Structure formats: C-alpha cells, structure tokens
Amino acid sequence: MKYNFITIEGCIGAGKTTLAKKLAEDFNGKLILEKFEDNPFLPGFYEDPERHAFPVELYFMAERYQHLKMLLSQADIFKSFTVSDFLFQKSLVFAMNNLKQDEAKLYRMLFDIINPTLPKPDIILYLYAPVEKLMDNIKKRGRDYEQNIKAEYLEKIQNAYLEYFKLQTQSHIIMLDTTELNFVERSEDYQKVVKILGLS
C-alpha cells in the first residue's frame, strides 16, 4: 500500500529524525522536521520542569501547528510522499504529563480548537525502545540540555504514548519494537522499516 503522509513517532531518543531523514532522502519524500532546538524554554524546562512546563508546551504546539500548516499546504509535485518526525498530537501526550491540572485544562481547550484543522497521517510508525536504549541514544547525541533527563520521565512519556494510541482510530498505527534493530547501521533492519511503510 502506498502512503502519502507518513509520521515517525517515538519517545525522546528513539531515532525519529534520523529515520525520517533517511526515508525522505532515499525515496524522494518531502520532509517535515520538528524544530525543537528553537524552543527557548526547553533548556529551562529540563532544569526546572514545574516553572517552564506551560510555556514550553505552548511553544511546541504553536510551532508544530505553524510548521505542519505551512508545509502541508504547499503542494510539491516533485515529491512522492511526505514524512514527518512528529505527530501533532504528541503535544497533548507531553502536556497532559507535564502540566498542572489547571494548565492542562486550558491547554486541552486550545488543542481541541487547533487539532481538527490539521491533516492526519495515513500511517504512524511508533519506534518503541526500552528506556535503557533511549538513555544511551540521548547520551550519544550529546545535547547538553538533555543530559539530565531521568529514566523515570522517559518511562512516563513512553507509557503515555502507548495509552494514547490505544484510543486512536483515525490513523493506521504500527508499533515497531526497535530493541534489537539498528536501521542506521544494518541494511536489513532498514529494509524491514521500508517494507512496513510500503516504500519498496
């Protein structure tokens, strides 16, 4: 089956961006990447989550919306498909876990206004990895502000993703256990992903 809009999702450190870039390059895809490094509140969030959670999540939601709306509204006849390294609904997954109750209620109101206006991916590939592997990947890529992320936080976010996906019916969702996979260095692992996404 041919998918026109593919989203790669996963917890922090799962390899979403790496895989999305590779797929777009190898199969002439239009690439939409999250600009997480532009969020001025992110370093502060990892230092003091309670103080910075609301602005960090609002910024992410606004940025994801703007990015998706702009890029998906511009048709590109020279590209075979679109692939993104984020799902807009991840805003809700993170916010419901990071915000205080009153903040979460306001955030949900804003999310429910914005979400219906955006196109939904044809397929979501969720890269599941055990927390130990996520921690190792985060350490390897060496972003200073990520080095204090706790294993407990990653586990909480991963579980929130899994609970969220249980309730979804709009998109085709595939959970891929990447515990023993290395789609960067092993061609056979990468080809397995390509086949799942119908790109081969």
CATH number at 48 reads 3.40.50.300
* Residue 163 belongs to domain spanning: 5-196
Question: How do residues 67-106 score in pLDDT, each as one tens digit?
Answer: 888 776 776 777 788 999 999 999 999 999 999 999 999 9
DSSP 8-state class, residue 67:
H
Could you give the CA distance from residue 38 to residue 52 in angstroms, rounded to a whole number? Answer: 15
Report how many domains make up the chain: 1
* pLDDT digits 0-9 by tens, 36-55: 778 899 888 888 888 999 99
Give residues with Cβ within 8 angstroms of 107, minimum separation 6: 54, 57, 58, 61, 92, 95, 99
pTM of the model: 0.91
pLDDT at 1 over 70: no
CA 29/CA 191 separation, integer angstroms: 16
Q: Where residue 168 falls among pLDDT bands split at 50, 70, 90? A: confident
List phi, psi (to 5°) of 124: -115, 120
